[in-house]
Amino acid sequence: MGLKGQTALVTGSSRGIGRRIAVALAREGADVILSARTVKPGTGDHPGSLQEAAAECEAAGVKAVALRCDLTVEDEVRRMCRDALERCGQVDIVVNNGAYFSEDQHYTPFLQFRWENWHNYVNANLLAPVLVCRELLPRMIERKHGIIINITSNLATTEMAALPGKGGAAIAYGAVKGGMHRFSQGLAKETGVHGIPTILVDPGYTLTERVEKNSGRLGGLDTSQAHSMELAAKTVANLCGHPNIMFFNGKTVIAADYVREHNL
């Protein structure tokens, strides 16, 4: 229970990697604020909900607060941050995990990609994490305590081969994750002065509920080598309790490598 007394905000935690991270932090003793769009079971496009995730966290004996938030909407992101502070008094750990994926256009060629989807990808996957940091970092600096972890992807720096007859893999997603990299590396220079690390964590290709459901429909996706969601969860939970966490400030941590190197 190395994180007892701390509070973590994990966006996109109704399912997938975010949920597993939230549960891992709860099992280490942290109170958890969960955020996503799907509140009740059976109401989302994929399995998982905030209510179910919060119950799993509470089973670890910690406080779990579920906050509905659509990361594509700026006002909702601001309200999430405000409610998090009002209901918990502090946020010690921020995990910007939530992401927007266009289910029907994730592999669509550039000229066919709907313009509104560019806005959704930029708003949810780049501007929302920036805004979360902007809203919560001042209190961290005031308390001289905090951790910022931004979940990234190798698509930020590496382009995947196009699928047969389709566009490049997630052209919008790679673009905004590239922006997340530059933002995080720049922010780390500022937060590091205050003893607050800003860290990028790359889960690698991971078999989430969304990937599992859509792999056949999208075509050309081999999930046999996909990582377990637990790799990212173990990495984040261990990092948050690491005795020399500032060593990782401004760096990209590859979850599979970290788990292997730390025998997790």
Please compute the mean of the pLDDT values over residues 143-159 and round it to a whole number.
88
Residue 212: pLDDT band (50, 70, 90) is low
Whole-number Cα distances in Å, 81 to 128, 155, 255: 11, 28, 27
Phi, psi at 149, each rounded to 5°: -125, 120
Residue 171: pLDDT band (50, 70, 90) is confident
Whether the Cβ atoms of residue 198 and residue 191 lie closer than 8 Å to each other:
yes
pLDDT tens per residue, range 178-200: 999 999 999 999 999 999 999 99
Please compute the mean of the pLDDT values over residues 139-154 and round it to a whole number.
94
Q: 185 Cβ partners below 8 Å, 6+ apart?
A: 200, 250
pLDDT tens per residue, range 126-146: 999 999 999 999 999 999 999
The mean pLDDT value of the chain amounts to: 89
Query: Which residue has better confidence, 57 or 43?
Result: 57
* Residue 14: both structure tokens together: 């109704």
> What confidence score (pLDDT) does residue 250 get?
97
Q: Domain ranges in the chain? A: 7-261
> What confidence score (pLDDT) does residue 97 get?
94
Strand partners, 148: 94, 198
* Residue 56: both structure tokens together: 């799993």
Give the closest residue to 129 by CA, choosing from 239, 1, 12, 45: 12
The CATH fold assigned to 7-261 is Rossmann fold (3.40.50)
> What confidence score (pLDDT) does residue 87 get?
96
Please compute the mean of the pLDDT values over residues 153-179 and round it to a whole number.
73
